[in-house]
Amino acid sequence: MSVSHTDQQLALMDTPPQNSLAQSVVSQAQDLTISWRPVFEDNDVQGSLKLLNHWLDQRKKTGAIIYPSHPFKALELIAPEDVKVVILGQDPYHGPEQAQGLSFSVPDTVRCPPSLRNIFKELAREYPDQNDQPSSDLTRWATQGVLLLNTSLTVENAKAGSHAGKGWEPITDAVIAHLFKFETPKVFMLWGAHAQAKQKLIDSSTKHGPVLSLASNHPSPLSATKPPVPFIGNGHFRLANEWLESWNQTPIDW
């Protein structure tokens, strides 16, 4: 049986990657700011999180390496009342030192993933006068009001989608629903079928402020230039900023 390059890397490591999960997700949720607390005080969310925490512990006992170290990083960097843009991903990157707890983002110390390269390609198309080399670490977006949220917040090494359907979805749905309690105008960027499946949740939520949904294909090379709505050429970054400015909001410096 062949051994993958990632498995060979891990075999050579004396310790797990720095971005692997160590602290329990229950305790990490308890450390979030007071603005996010109502999400995790809900009885259903508490139950889901406890069951998920037990399952994650069992997986780690079998030797599974789980990423990232801080699944709630997106919530740690921004308060719900400050969220102006939501970019939904599916699950974290599944290689060592990649996942940061922010959808599509990786540290600059690792190679820029293909989907993020296409995001930067679209940004360069929309803003051709910006010549700075973009950082693959999207923390700068989060600190301006962009919630970079995956629908599953953990994943196992070399196993994309391995934690989908394991209990994260009701928790991240509750996070999304919580945003609508605040009047801040919000843009949802729904790239691909998985993210667009959240449109029903967006439509059915009671809103206390204006909301705009922008949909296109996912930035993955498999779909970025294909119909029905190619990601490359969607114009979402400019559209989001123009809409925010129409509501007297500071635009995002992408």
Q: Which residues are catalytic?
A: 91
User: Does the N-terminal peptide bond of residue 68 adopt cis geometry, omega within 30 degrees of 0?
Assistant: yes
Cα separation, 213 vs 226, whole angstroms: 20
Six token digits for residue 79: 């308060």
Cα separation, 220 vs 236, whole angstroms: 16
**66 to 27, 49, 163: CA distances (angstroms):** 16, 16, 10
Q: Exposure pattern of 105-122 as b/e (b: 16+ CB <10 Å)?
A: bbeeebeebebbbbbbeb
Q: Are 104 and 138 in contact (CB under 8 A)?
A: yes
Query: What is the phi/psi pair of residue 47, to 5°?
Result: -65, -45
Cα separation, 168 vs 20, whole angstroms: 17
What is the sign, positive or negative, of the torsion defined by CA atoms of 41, 47, 53, 57? positive
If DSSP codes are grouped into helix, strand and coil, which group holds residue 235?
coil
